[in-house]
Chain A
Amino acid sequence: MIHDLAVIGGGVHGSTVALFAARGGMKVTLIERGPLCREASGVNAGTLTLQMTRVALIPYALRAHAMWASAREWLGHDVGVVVCDGLSLAFTEQEEELLSFRAGKRREAGAPISLVSGAEARRIEPGVSDTVRLAGYCKVDGFANAYLTGLAFRRALIDAGVALQENTPASGIVREDGGFAVQTSNGVVRARRIVLAGGVWIEPMLAWLGIALPIKTLINQLVVTERVRPVMRTVVGIANGLLSLKQYPHGTVVIGGGWQGIGDRERGGVELLPDRVIGNVRLACHAIPDLKAARVARAWAGLEAETADALPAAGPIPGIPDAYVCGSVHSGYTSGPYIARLLAERILGHETDLPLFPIDRLLGTATPSEARHD
């Protein structure tokens, strides 16, 4: 049989494209080398904040935030989303300057961020340290339980009639009449259209089609505490973006921020650097002093994909009709569902509300056709 669409890569991006394409009437198959959402989409910090989102992505992240907040309606299943206030803190004069500048840029792009005094920050979040001098305050913030993503999408994709092929690594793509033949561990899968949604593996996937697009692999260290009594109620970060901190309803506190560990695309997150774990938790406890009572239950290093300009690779693949790419989005968990839904709409032949992020700009060939992102 031949599918209307084969999506390769079952993270948030691939799963969302597959879901909306199937709901739009296409016969869709989703091919994933492991279980769904077990890489970046399942092990990231789950933060849904605008205060760490790139300015160019703010309009997308705002719409994606609304999608996450209403996941029960469109996804149909719970990803443990909590919508709450967010604070980005400044402890020094330099951080105040950095925060004012960055919050200003994000506000211009549409993020409802205001600057509040340290005293006001403590009123909003009684858990924060009294050394806070200034804070960016945003009412559109929150977090999801990233490890539930796979389960939620799995149920939704099956409900939508997507032919799920988990634990099925793909090893190549051949163009043929009327579409593509995808080589998998389970044999050849044929489809009229393909979407490459492999996160950091988009680089080797595009190489199957003879396209060289370098994708950088970030190795983000994350720490989670055991369940503890409530110590905070908001999402907390710092001015330069190197901290993300929130407490889940069940009591655990996730400490992130993108401190880099050891790993690569081939081996995944191999190891955490202890000095950086200590630095990250010092920063967290400096922000929320009561956190000191807790113990670290688990730490890990998750991959994040980044293009040369740290903006998404989301759009048609130049020179290859009916082939698309979707991923490598900075803070991709936050913005991913919206960007992936845009691509699904494009594939279904609909107008998109916001422009996509074609990869032409990254291949050094043509000017981006749909959007300019500076």
Chain B
Amino acid sequence: MKLLVVEDNNDLLQNILTYLEREGYICEYARDYDEAFNKIMSFTYDIVLIDIMIPGGSGLQVLRKLKSVDSKTGTIIISAKNALDDKVEGLELGADDYLTKPFQLPELHARIKAVNRRKHYGGNEIVQINEIEINTKTMEVKVRDTLLDLTPKEYDLLVYFSSNKNHVLSKQTIAEHLWGDYVDHLKNLDFVYQHIKNLRRKLEKAGAKNYIESVYGIGYKFRVR
């Protein structure tokens, strides 16, 4: 998958590139408006990540131009501004998703995956992890044709794991993915363990291997060899 990251901050760019390249994406980047404009006009990308505040113009302009030439490219707006206006405008212009800084890299990755599925497979992609089959359209999970009865949160958790295979995901990260900012109001994160325990039990019952590893004192890892 080919990505373009439009971001003027070098450190942030390196963070994103390091993480995504490790996932096997082909990443290009643009540091200002002109560079971004030239690249979207010359090449096609599967996903473009756009920071709103870039030198020489606005990320929203890049988005507008991109949509006028190629509507198939998935777009994710990244903004430091929490301003709702930007979000609304970005989504109105056809951005597929919106992230505010600071975001978590696994979260960004999960969003990229989701946008990619929506844009390029019509949301119909079947995610296959060995014997596990996730239908992202019907939200059904099968293990060797056995349909699993998952709660929405368990499904969400599995998709999140599948997007971030072989990464250690902390309880905090998982909780924030599933419940967003509300996590701040929870006294402890034991419920993450409850959800993972249930998911693991359901997968094993259907005959799947135990992919979810507990990493002591840290969190969990979805290990796929």
Decide whether A and B assemble into one complex. Answer: no
A contact residues vs B (CB 8 Å cutoff): none
Residues of B whose CB lies within 8 Å of any CB of A are none
